[in-house]
Amino acid sequence: MSLQDYLTRIGLRGAVRPDLATLNAVHRAHVETIPYEDLDVQFGAPVSRAADAAFDKIVARRRGGWCYEMNGLLGWALEEIGYKVERLAGGVERASRGDSAVGNHLVLIVTLDRPWLVDAGFGDGLIEPVLLKEGAFANGVMTCRLAQIEDGWWRYYNDPSGSAPTFDFHRDVTDEALLENGCAMLQTHPESPFVQNAVVQRWEGGEHLSMRGRVFQRLAADGKHQETVNDADEYVRVLKDRFKLDLPEAAALWPKISARHEAVFGARAEAAEERAD
């Protein structure tokens, strides 16, 4: 595990030091260069929370990853630079699911003169770190918000155009077992959204790119622009051209992706017809 190799992977040149300017630069370079993706779950390949495994996958093999890998690698790199990093067991949609959600998301806090929320693993989450304080903030083409809720918990509110609406975190909730259990469940449980759906996301400037199954989307200042991917060759091409993933073996996922697309959108079409009747 080499810090210089990581910095080369994200295209960041020059000296790095544990200050706010470097923190912002590393975070932005990470989310614009490395895609958020769950394709190993789709392949049935075990996903580890270990930082060295994330380094091998993301840096050496030039893949992407999900929250445990993206924030696991980022947290390691920031500590190598000299930052103080806290790893928290967060909960995506804890607002609706309760404490059973805690551990399904790895959240980072970096303390300089004040604490900063750092998160490269929410897919359409932060482009740059945000000061841990209440209020709305611009995040590329999105507007997000942080709020203190009950008993020391914080809630991140995603933009309405985003995917998951919220995640919660608490600076005292750092239980590694919660994160380990969350990582295991999300890659094996049949109702896990990562088991059900092939998802790839990346920031590009202030715009957000995503591909969920066959649907490619670009979220820009003038709204959402969507296209449907037509076949396995096009799927592999979009991964390479828009998400920087050279992964020809992803063509093998196409039957599963197509079946899921038909199940979701076919059901929606049938429901719309029933409402029309």
* Catalytic annotation, residues: 67, 105, 119
Task: Return the residue matching tokens 């049935």.
Answer: 44
Q: What are phi and psi of 226, to 5 degrees?
A: -120, 145
Distance CA 186, CA 274 (A): 33
Going by C-alpha positions, the residue among 114, 139, 125 that lies closest to residue 74 is 125
Element (H, E) at 237: helix 232-243
**For the chain, what is the largest distance between any 2 Cα atoms, rounded to a whole number of angstroms?**
65
Element (H, E) at 68: helix 67-81
Q: How many other CB atoms sit within 10 Å of the CB of residue 136? A: 12
Instruction: Look at the chain and count its residues.
Output: 277
Element (H, E) at 9: helix 3-9
Distance CA 117, CA 141 (A): 19
Burial (CB count within 10 angstroms: exposed 0-12, middle 13-18, buried 19+), residue 145: middle
